[in-house]
Structure formats: structure tokens, C-alpha cells
């Protein structure tokens, strides 16, 4: 059974994290500091530095897990788990003061793919699907320090390293990707077997 973490805004423009286990109020200043950290030291970097990415992933994990241990509990409860991070309510909120709007938009752009529980990045686990759900908006934001980035995906077709598993049919995989995205609003560009398909 999937677990949903929903980020929501109250009428007083305070942030809440809600899930099946309960809800808790989020400290706006702490959240703004986390967003600033990622904007300055992750998105602005030209080169990835693994120890730093791990450290940032641990901070993000501990912040999301909280003193209640909700994320840890979700990971322990099932062998196969899907965790949704619903970021739509905050990114679509209107009529916010500039400080709250900046934090609301920045929340959707946190690097959730770096979540690390100390044993490794969660996204690398075979029995776990971690799915940030974001709103894709056409409006341009002028909030300083937060960019409204376009959605970009890259599908990479690679053969398994285990010799007991048959090699991947690259052309077939490419055809499957093109078929699955046919008629969508995405543009698909397949440039050779090793490059995979880019959707933007």
C-alpha cells in the first residue's frame, strides 16, 4: 500500500506535512534554510561531489522523517513500498506573501532524489518507488532564488551486468518508449542506442 506525504498550506500561510500517520507543522525558517542550501550548493554546482550529495541526502531524509520517524516507519512496514511526495498543493497556492510563495515553490524543487537513510540513496533500492508529484506550470515565477524549471526526463536503456540475464534489445526498448509516449504533450528525441530517449 502506497504512503502519501502531502505538503499543505494553512490559511495562516504556515506549512504542514501530512501522511497516514498524522500531521505536523513545519518550521518555515528551517524549510527556507534547506531550500537555500540546495539552491546554492547543489543546483548551482557544475560537478557532483558524492560525499556532499550523501550529506545533503541525509539532511533531507532527517528533515522529512522528523522526530516522529514517519519515513523510517514507512520503509520498515513493507517489503515493496511506494512513497508519494505530493508537492502540488504548495506549488499551486495563490495569493501568498512573497516569503511564503518563495518557500512554497522551493519545496517542490528540493532534490528528493538524494534522500539517503544512512545505508544509501533511497532511489537505488529495488523494492522502493519514491515518486515526487509536482505541478507543471506554464507561469513564470520571479521569486529570487527559485527557478521554475521545465520538466525533463531521460530514459536510458542499458544492459544488465549479470551474465545470467539476457542482454537488452535496445531497438525494442526504444520502440517501447516511443510507443508509450506517442500522442503525449512531450517531445521525444532518440539519438542512438546508448543515449536512450530524452523527453522534454
d(CA 132, CA 5): 9
Q: Rounded to the nearest 10 degrees, how much is the dihedral formed by the CA atoms of 51, 145, 155, 117?
A: 40
Q: What region, left, alpha or beta, does residue 192 occupy, with left being phi > 0 and alpha being psi -120 to 50 degrees?
A: left
Same structural domain, 11 and 80: yes
Mean pLDDT, range 134-141, rounded to an integer: 52
User: DSSP 3-state assignment of 113?
Assistant: helix
Flag whether the pTM goes above 0.85. no
pLDDT tens digit sequence for 59-116: 999 999 999 999 998 888 766 678 888 888 777 777 788 888 888 888 888 888 899 9
Query: Which domain-ending residue is among 148, 171, 192?
Result: 148
| Mean pLDDT score of the chain | 77
- 158 and 83 share one domain: no
CB 115 within 8 A of CB 76: no
Both 74 and 163 in a single domain? no
Write the pLDDT tens digit of every residue in 30-59. Answer: 999 999 988 887 877 777 788 888 999 999
Per the structure, the count of domains in the chain is 2
Residue 59: the pLDDT is: 93
Q: List helix spans (H) across the chain.
A: 28-38, 50-65, 70-77, 88-91, 98-108, 170-181
In the chain, the percentage of residues whose pLDDT exceeds 90 is: 17
Percentage of the chain exceeding pLDDT 70: 76
Rounded mean pLDDT, 168-180: 78
122 and 197 within one domain: no
Q: How far apart are CA 30 and CA 19, in angstroms?
A: 20
Tell whether 43 and 132 lie within a shared domain. Answer: yes
The reply to whether 131 and 108 lie within a common domain is yes
Residues 172 and 134 both lie in one domain: no
Among 148, 164, 184, residue at a domain's last position: 148
Most confident of 73-77, 119-123, 188-192: 119-123
Which stretch of 21-30, 44-53, 134-143, 151-160 has the lowest confidence by average pLDDT?
134-143
Q: pLDDT-based confidence at 22, cuts 50/70/90? A: very high
Pair 188, 139 in one domain: no
Residues 160 and 73 in one domain: no
User: In terms of domains, do 137 and 55 share one?
Assistant: yes
120 and 58 part of one domain: yes
Range of the domain at 161: 152-200
pLDDT over 50 (residue 194) = no
Write down the pLDDT at residue 153.
60
> Does pLDDT of 25 surpass 90?
yes
- Do 134 and 97 sit in the same domain of this protein? yes
Amino acid at each position: 500500500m502506497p504512503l502519501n506525504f502531502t505538503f499543505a498550506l494553512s490559511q495562516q500561510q504556515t506549512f504542514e506535512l501530512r501522511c497516514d500517520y498524522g500531521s505536523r507543522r513545519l518550521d518555515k525558517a528551517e524549510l527556507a534554510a534547506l531550500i537555500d542550501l540546495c539552491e546554492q550548493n547543489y543546483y548551482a554546482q557544475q560537478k557532483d561531489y558524492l560525499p556532499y550529495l550523501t550529506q545533503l541526502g541525509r539532511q533531507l531524509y532527517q528533515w522529512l522523517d522528523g522526530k516522529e520517524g514517519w519515513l523510517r516507519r514507512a520503509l520498515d512496514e513493507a517489503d515493496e513500498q511506494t512513497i508519494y511526495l505530493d508537492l502540488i498543493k504548495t506549488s499551486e497556492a495563490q495569493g501568498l506573501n512573497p516569503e511564503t510563495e518563495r518557500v512554497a515553490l522551493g519545496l517542490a524543487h528540493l532534490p528528493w532524489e538524494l534522500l539517503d537513510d544512512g545505508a544509501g540513496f533511497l532511489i537505488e533500492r529495488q523494492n522502493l518507488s519514491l515518486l515526487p508529484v509536482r505541478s507543471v506550470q506554464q507561469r513564470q515565477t520571479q521569486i529570487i532564488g527559485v527557478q521554475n524549471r521545465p520538466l525533463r526526463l531521460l530514459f536510458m536503456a542499458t544492459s544488465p551486468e549479470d551474465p545470467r540475464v539476457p542482454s537488452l534489445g535496445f531497438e525494442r526498448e526504444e520502440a517501447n518508449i516511443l510507443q508509450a509516449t506517442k500522442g503525449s504533450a512531450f517531445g521525444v528525441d532518440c539519438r542512438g542506442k546508448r543515449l536512450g530517449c530524452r523527453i522534454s
